[in-house]
């Protein structure tokens, strides 16, 4: 409890007893009289009223010794120095014979506080404040210590005792404060930012409410605290309590006292209760959420000024919704701090219109939003406007213009989120009329925001509320107010008057990650006349022209290699010069060929991003555009007449069944379905081009020529004449050029796979074209790889290269080989760790030669392991084109029940995810090593299991441990050294689960079954630890012998465990 340090009369009050004898007190014995006879004195300065500040005045008679103020409070029950017997001898405490025989008596209900000070300061007079005094009794006394105290000189003197009894003053009375206004549900800002309530001091005297309590009838509670400086509600005045005192973010409210957001005002029914220091209820309102009280949103509830008393404010009929707008920049209504019938503001509206917003770059493309956002304002008046001191807001974010920034009459000014041209894409505030508001949380929403400008008196001069529905949206382009419409506030508020900029500027910048990007082209006209807005394409496509081919991802993966093809479905030539190219997100280009650009009847033209053969893949387009980009996954192509009538449109979307092209393959409309607009909008009618190449860069497509027929989709059940026996998904250098797969011929005759289809279940597709036969020998192998460049493929030579048409994913993926007719010959579905080995950089996955070399055998992921032999430059392990390494490494041992036991289980790590850090430990109880290769580990609940498959075997030493984990990387698994990695499908349940261990003969050797804390421990961030003295099968089955590991951290990660090491002794 803290209250202001306001002094009352200097005269001692009747409630102060000087030198009196109290029923309970702190006293010194006769041996403490002091050698020098010096006697300090004590006096009270102030009125010792409960809850108020008073001062103890200590006067030293001379000398510069140290003085200790000993204070014994009677309203506590603690004892001094850990319960030493009372009285105790100060000679024992100070280890000084000179103090021997000086007992200090402290009653059992007292405690002692000590304060030391230098009596040589301020002439020996000190005033010691005691704010927030509780009612009750306190005894005080001074010891004056000789300056040579540290050499064990005796004390100089002791004051007389003074007992002080705090009393309650008259204090406030119920109704002295009345709650008059409540904003429980603001709309302009969140409840956590804009709730407030107002009180009125109905008396003729100031009321200090520091130390008073705000509560409700539930759990809300806050003690008003201003660090002892007081919280004064002036006489006859209004006072505002709020959860946010920031005017810029709380909706425009001047808050006198800020309470924590935890004291929340419910939007339905709730109470506000104010109690004083004596817990007397001074003010209360019980609002009911609508039955009687109002229940507004964005408006405060206000007590009628005719009923400003503690009785009438209980009646909800005396309350109404506010009709007065809060000060700008808010749109909510209320009258905090003033009489409820006094509106001192006008409705906010859009503003006066002296300044309007004319251009907004909310979403720069390559440059990060933090660096590249900006907006432009226009001065509609005939006089310059200096915006120094003006406030610009966006929702709860705002900034104040901190220096002179002049917008010329009829001129523009730009506000830059980052004024460094090396960061923002090339906009230099020294070259344009710009203000840099860097370092401010103010940002521009990509999908919409409301921006407002206020002058120094908080008068709104202009605003804009843009969205992604009625206003245009763009990436890498500003949105602009059309200069052909009237440049005033009303016109600027209409989204139809805005479009995206087509003029460009180029510069360097930083991307979203803060990394440099150079030569970035963006579109906008900062501090210049805006581009004239083009005609917006509209209407249903007429279908005279059809989009038939799209190259959105060339082999070089640059925009220069992008193009699309138009087909003329009519019997007459069509001139498309002056036509519009657009998409639905802001790309826009008007074709300007300098003359006719004719699409022949029944013919085709291509339109591309570049006609520079070195950049575009060696092709010449009929027309090269700019400002138009083809998204690699989803986008639209709209072709419209110069008047805006849409002629052709395709909306491709990789999420909606459209093919997703690999680099170097165009998307083509299958000519077999018929070239019409209706067919062009059906995703199933499109495929990737595979057969025909063009240009110089190994791109596939048929620009300006008839499309290839879409290839056959593999189907059916794998026949198994060929099987997949090896694949490398992730080379050591992490380059795609190292990927390969190996095919094995299970028959007695060679098989020619030229013309076969290589695919996955998604979008990868390649038709093998070897220029002749490609034979897989009877009982032999053949490898197909991404590259035969020995510098990038690990220094090996594959039998065939499929290039970038097939990617073997580092995660889950499928590999399918089918005949030219589409009949699947072989396939596998790699699940990346569930049953197949986890894809690991530099290690190929191989089918165990001991397993059945059949389609069924190859589909079983447990028949696969990782290769140990290296090839080529020895950076990768694998056996491409040769017999695979053995996965088994020999058959493990049989054992007797209890020869192996489970001794530790980490089923719920905290430092890492369960999927990264689960492990368990087994222990060999015998005197001989045991090979557990081929042993099976099973879960009773769902039958999930894995079989140890370790090249060279997996031996556990006599009296030793083995650690099995879901993740073998100690950098990501919580610091655990794992001896064997099991599949992720074998997970350890956090509640109840089991581990059952069986040898190669499937004889159960041991098990452990934990039970969600019933008998076994249930830790989080610690392993379950079998007591170090209970290493036998019978003991391991009893949960009472297990405990959480608590002493040993794993690698300093914060989790506790002893994987592979001796267990702890359970307490």
Q: For the residues 556-576, what does the mean pLDDT come to? A: 95
Label the pairing between strands 54-59 and 136-145.
Answer: unpaired
pLDDT at 626 over 70: yes
Q: Is the pLDDT of residue 82 over 60?
A: no
What is the arithmetic mean of pLDDT over 219-246?
A: 90
Q: Is the pLDDT of residue 87 over 70?
A: no
Inter-residue contact 406 to 385 (CB < 8 Å): yes
Position 948 scores a pLDDT of 82
Helix (H) or strand (E) holding 192: helix 191-194
* 124 three-state secondary structure: helix
Order of all β-strands in the sheet with 936-938: 945-947, 936-938, 992-998, 1004-1011
Asked if residue 10 has pLDDT above 50, the reply is no
Structural tokens at position 260? 């924590």
At residue 226, φ and ψ (nearest 5 deg) are -125, 30
**Residue 327 falls inside a structural domain:** no
Q: How many domains does the chain have?
A: 6
Phi, psi of 40 (to 5 degrees): -70, 160
Q: Are residues 237 and 309 in the same domain?
A: yes
**Is the model more confident about 132 or about 768?**
768
Q: Please report whether residue 528 resides in a domain.
A: no
Kindly tell me if the per-residue pLDDT of 393 is higher than 60. yes
Averaged pLDDT for residues 976-992: 88
The DSSP string of 304-345 is: -GGG-STTGGG-GGGEEE--SBPSTT--SB--TTS-TT---S
Burial class (CB in 10 A: 0-12, 13-18, 19+), 829: middle
* CATH number reported for the structural domain that contains residue 79 in this entry: 2.60.40.10
Token pair belonging to 387: 């915006």
First vs last C-alpha separation in the chain: 44
Residues 304 and 362 in one domain: no
161-188 mean pLDDT: 79
Same domain, 36 and 149: yes
Name the residue with higher pLDDT: 826 or 142: 826
Using the predicted structure, report yes or no on whether residue 630 has a pLDDT greater than 90: yes
| Residue 479 lies inside a defined structural domain of this protein | yes
Neighbour tally for 655: CB within 10 Å: 8
The domain that contains 377 carries what CATH number? 2.60.40.1260
Q: The tokens of 453 are what?
A: 């400008």
Most confident of 199-208, 521-530, 918-927: 918-927
Which tokens sit at 818? 């089918």
Q: What is the pLDDT of residue 338?
A: 87
Calpha distance 685→680 (Å, rounded): 7
Nearest to 119 by CA among 97, 139, 144: 144
Residue 583 counted as domain residue: yes
On the CB side of 285, CA atoms within 13 Å amount to: 33
The mean of the pLDDT values for the chain is: 84
Whether residue 929 is predicted with pLDDT greater than 80 in this model: the reply is yes
Residue 684 within any structural domain of the chain: yes
What is the domain extent for residue 999? 900-1044
1020 vs 144, more confident: 1020
Percentage of residues of the chain with pLDDT beyond 70: 82
State pLDDT tens for residues 35-78.
444 566 677 766 666 656 666 777 765 554 555 555 554 333 22
Sign of the alpha-carbon dihedral angle for 785, 788, 791, 797: positive
Whether residues 207 and 160 share a domain: the answer is no
796 shares a domain with 656: no
Cα atoms in the 13 Å half-sphere on the side-chain side of 384 = 9
Among the candidates 321, 345, 367, a domain finishes at 321
Cα(964)–Cα(979) distance, rounded to whole angstroms? 6
The two tokens of residue 670 are 């299958």
Residue 1046 vs residue 6, higher pLDDT: 1046
> What confidence tier does 132 reach under pLDDT thresholds 50, 70, 90?
low
Residues with Cβ < 8 Å from 1013, sequence gap 6 or more? none
Which runs of consecutive H residues, i.e. helices, occur in 49-168?
90-94
Helices (H), 373-520: 421-424, 489-492
Question: Are the beta carbons of 786 and 803 closer than 8 angstroms?
Answer: yes
Distance separating alpha carbons of residues 161 and 69, to the nearest angstrom: 11
Q: Do 913 and 995 lie in a common domain?
A: yes
- How far is 625 from 582, CA to CA, in rounded Å? 11
pLDDT of res. 964? 96
Domain final position from 279, 303, 321: 321
Residues 423 and 465 in one domain: yes
- Compute the CA torsion angle 34, 35, 37, 39 (nearest 10 deg): -30
**From 587-601, 680-694, 875-889, the region with the lowest mean pLDDT:** 875-889
**452-491 residues labelled b (16+ CB within 10 A) or e (exposed):** bbbbeeeebbbbbebeeeebbbbbbbbbbbbeeeebebeb
The pLDDT of 149-177, averaged and rounded, is: 63
Res 112: pLDDT: 46
Q: Are residues 37 and 84 in the same domain?
A: yes
Backbone angles phi and psi of 857, in degrees to 5: -65, -40
Q: Return the pLDDT at 38.
A: 54
Instruction: Give the up-direction half-sphere exposure of residue 137: CA atoms within 13 A in the CB hemisphere.
Output: 17
Question: Do residues 601 and 568 lie in contact, with contact meaning Cβ atoms separated by under 8 Å?
Answer: yes
878: pLDDT strictly greater than 80: yes
Q: Residue 65: inside a domain, yes or no?
A: yes
* 194-234-6 Cα angle (round to 5): 115
Q: What span, in angstroms and rounded, lies between the C-alpha atoms of 360 and 721?
A: 63
Q: Name 828's Cβ contacts closer than 8 Å, sequence gap at least 6.
A: 724, 727, 814, 815, 836, 858, 859
- Lowest mean pLDDT segment, chosen from 604-613, 728-737, 856-865, 958-967: 728-737
State how beta strands 775-776 and 751-752 pair.
antiparallel
Quote the pLDDT of residue 550. 97
User: Residue 230: what pLDDT?
Assistant: 82
Q: Which of 401-405, 728-732, 735-739 has the lowest mean pLDDT?
A: 735-739
Give the pLDDT band (50/70/90) at residue 401.
very high
Same domain for 679 and 550?
yes
Q: Check whether residue 162 and residue 181 sit in a common domain.
A: no
pLDDT for 108-128, tens place per residue?
A: 444 444 455 555 555 566 666
Residue 139 lies in a domain: yes
The string of pLDDT tens digits covering residues 890-899 is 567 899 999 9
The pLDDT value recorded for residue 731 is 87
- pLDDT digit string (tens) for 252-291? 888 999 999 899 999 999 999 999 877 889 999 999 999 9
In whole angstroms, give the CA distance from residue 1060 to residue 982: 16
Mean pLDDT on 925-944? 87
DSSP 765-811: EEE---SS--EE-TT-EEEEES---TTTTTS---SEE-GGG----SS
Tokens in use for 1067? 């307490």
For residue 1060, being part of any structural domain is answered with no
Q: In terms of domains, do 360 and 380 share one?
A: yes
Give the residue from 700, 732, 767 where a domain finishes: 700
Tell me, what's the pLDDT at 601? 97
Element containing residue 916 per DSSP (H, E): helix 914-917
Pair 451, 514 in one domain:
yes
């Amino acid at each position: 409890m803290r209250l202001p340090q306001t002094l009352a009369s200097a005269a001692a009050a009747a409630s102060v007893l000087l030198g009196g004898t109290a029923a309970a007190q702190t006293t010194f014995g006769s041996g403490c009289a002091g050698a020098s006879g010096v006697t300090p004195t004590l006096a009270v300065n102030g009125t010792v009223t409960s809850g108020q500040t008073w001062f103890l005045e200590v006067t030293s008679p001379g000398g510069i010794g140290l003085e200790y103020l000993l204070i014994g409070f009677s309203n506590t029950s603690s004892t001094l120095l850990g319960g030493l017997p009372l009285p105790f001898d100060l000679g024992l405490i100070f280890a000084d014979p000179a103090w021997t025989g000086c007992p200090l008596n402290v009653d059992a209900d007292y405690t002692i506080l000590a304060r030391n000070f230098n009596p040589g300061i301020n002439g020996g007079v000190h005033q010691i404040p005691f704010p927030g005094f509780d009612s009750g009794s306190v005894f005080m006394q001074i010891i004056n210590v000789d300056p040579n105290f540290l050499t064990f000189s005796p004390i100089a003197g002791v004051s007389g005792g003074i007992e002080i009894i705090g009393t309650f003053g008259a204090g406030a009375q119920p109704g002295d404060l009345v709650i008059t206004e409540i904003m429980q549900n603001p709309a302009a800002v969140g409840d956590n930012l804009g709730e407030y309530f107002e009180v009125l001091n109905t008396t003729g005297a100031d009321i200090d409410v520091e130390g008073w309590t705000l509560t409700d009838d539930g759990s809300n509670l806050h003690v008003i605290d201003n660090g002892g400086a007081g919280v004064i509600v002036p006489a006859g005045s209004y006072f505002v309590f709020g959860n946010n005192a920031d005017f810029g973010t709380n909706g425009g409210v001047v808050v006198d006292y800020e309470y924590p957001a935890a004291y929340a005002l419910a939007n339905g029914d709730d109470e506000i209760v104010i109690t004083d220091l004596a817990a007397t209820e001074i003010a209360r309102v019980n609002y009911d959420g609508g039955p009687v009280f109002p229940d507004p949103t964005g408006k405060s509830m206000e007590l009628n000024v005719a009923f400003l008393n503690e009785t009438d404010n209980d009646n909800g009929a005396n309350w109404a919704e506010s009709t007065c707008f809060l000060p700008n920049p808010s749109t909510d209504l209320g009258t905090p701090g003033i009489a409820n019938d006094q509106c001192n503001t006008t409705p906010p509206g859009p503003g006066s219109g002296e300044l309007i917003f004319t251009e907004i770059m909310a979403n720069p493309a390559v440059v990060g939003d933090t660096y590249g956002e900006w907006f432009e304002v226009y001065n509609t008046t005939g006089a310059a406007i200096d915006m120094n001191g003006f406030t610009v807001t966006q929702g709860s974010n705002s900034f104040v213009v901190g220096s002179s920034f002049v917008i010329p009459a009829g001129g523009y000014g730009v506000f830059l989120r980052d004024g460094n041209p090396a960061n923002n894409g090339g906009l230099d505030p020294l070259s344009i009329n710009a203000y840099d508001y860097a370092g401010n949380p103010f940002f521009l929403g990509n999908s919409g925001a409301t921006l407002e400008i206020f002058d120094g008196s908080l008068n709104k001069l202009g605003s804009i509320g843009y969205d992604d529905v009625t206003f245009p949206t763009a990436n890498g382009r500003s949105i602009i107010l059309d200069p052909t419409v009237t440049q005033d506030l009303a016109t600027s508020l209409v989204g139809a008057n805005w479009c995206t900029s087509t003029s460009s500027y180029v510069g360097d910048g930083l991307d979203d990650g803060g990394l440099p990007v150079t030569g970035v082209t963006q579109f906008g006209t900062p501090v210049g006349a805006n581009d004239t807005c083009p005609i917006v394409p509209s209407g249903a496509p007429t279908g005279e022209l059809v989009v038939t081919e799209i190259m959105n991802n060339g082999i070089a993966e640059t925009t220069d290699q992008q193009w699309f093809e138009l087909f003329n479905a009519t019997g007459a030539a069509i001139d498309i010069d002056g036509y519009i190219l657009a998409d639905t997100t802001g790309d826009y280009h008007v074709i300007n060929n300098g003359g006719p650009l004719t699409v022949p009847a029944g013919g085709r033209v291509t339109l591309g991003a570049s006609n520079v053969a070195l950049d575009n893949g060696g092709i010449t387009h009929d027309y090269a555009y700019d400002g138009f980009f083809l998204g690699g996954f989803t986008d639209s192509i709209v072709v419209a007449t110069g008047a805006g009538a849409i002629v052709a449109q395709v909306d491709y979307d990789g999420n909606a069944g459209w093919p997703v092209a690999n680099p170097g393959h165009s998307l083509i409309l299958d000519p077999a379905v018929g070239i019409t607009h209706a067919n062009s909008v059906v995703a199933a009618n499109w495929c990737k081009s595979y057969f025909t190449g063009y240009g110089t860069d190994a791109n596939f497509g048929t620009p300006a020529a008839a499309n290839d027929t879409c290839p056959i989709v593999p189907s059916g059940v794998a026949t198994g004449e060929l099987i997949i026996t090896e694949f490398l998904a992730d080379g050591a250098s992490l380059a795609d050029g190292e990927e390969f797969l190996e095919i094995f011929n299970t028959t007695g005759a060679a098989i020619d796979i030229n013309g076969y289809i290589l695919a996955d279940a998604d979008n990868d597709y390649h038709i093998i074209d070897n220029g002749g036969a490609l034979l897989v020998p009877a009982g032999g192998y053949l490898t197909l790889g991404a590259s035969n460049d020995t510098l990038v493929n690990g220094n090996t030579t594959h039998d065939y290269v499929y290039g970038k048409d097939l990617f073997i994913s580092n995660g889950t993926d499928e590999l399918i080989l089918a005949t030219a007719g589409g009949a699947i010959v072989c396939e596998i579905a790699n699940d990346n760790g569930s049953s197949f080995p986890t894809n690991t950089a530099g290690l190929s996955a191989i089918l165990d030669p001991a397993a059945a070399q059949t389609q069924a055998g190859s589909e079983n992921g447990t028949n696969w392991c990782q290769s140990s032999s290296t090839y080529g430059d020895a950076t990768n392990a694998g056996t491409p084109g040769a017999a695979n390494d053995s996965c088994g490494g020999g058959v493990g041992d049989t054992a007797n029940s209890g020869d192996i036991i489970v001794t530790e289980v980490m089923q719920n790590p905290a430092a890492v995810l369960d999927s990264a850090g689960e492990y368990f430990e087994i222990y060999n109880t015998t005197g001989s090593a045991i090979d557990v290769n081929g042993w099976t580990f099973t879960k009773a609940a769902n039958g999930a299991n894995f079989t140890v498959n370790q090249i060279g075997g997996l031996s556990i030493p006599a009296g030793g441990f083995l650690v099995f984990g879901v993740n073998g990387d100690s950098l990501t698994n919580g610091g655990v050294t794992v001896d064997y990695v099991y599949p992720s499908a074998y997970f350890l349940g956090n509640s109840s689960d089991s581990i059952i261990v069986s040898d190669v003969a499937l004889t159960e050797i041991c098990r452990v079954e934990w039970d969600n804390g019933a008998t076994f421990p249930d830790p989080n961030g610690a392993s379950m630890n079998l007591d170090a003295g209970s290493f036998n099968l019978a003991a391991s089955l009893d949960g009472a012998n297990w405990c959480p590991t608590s002493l040993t951290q794993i690698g300093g990660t914060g989790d506790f465990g002893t994987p592979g090491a001796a267990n702890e002794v359970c307490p």
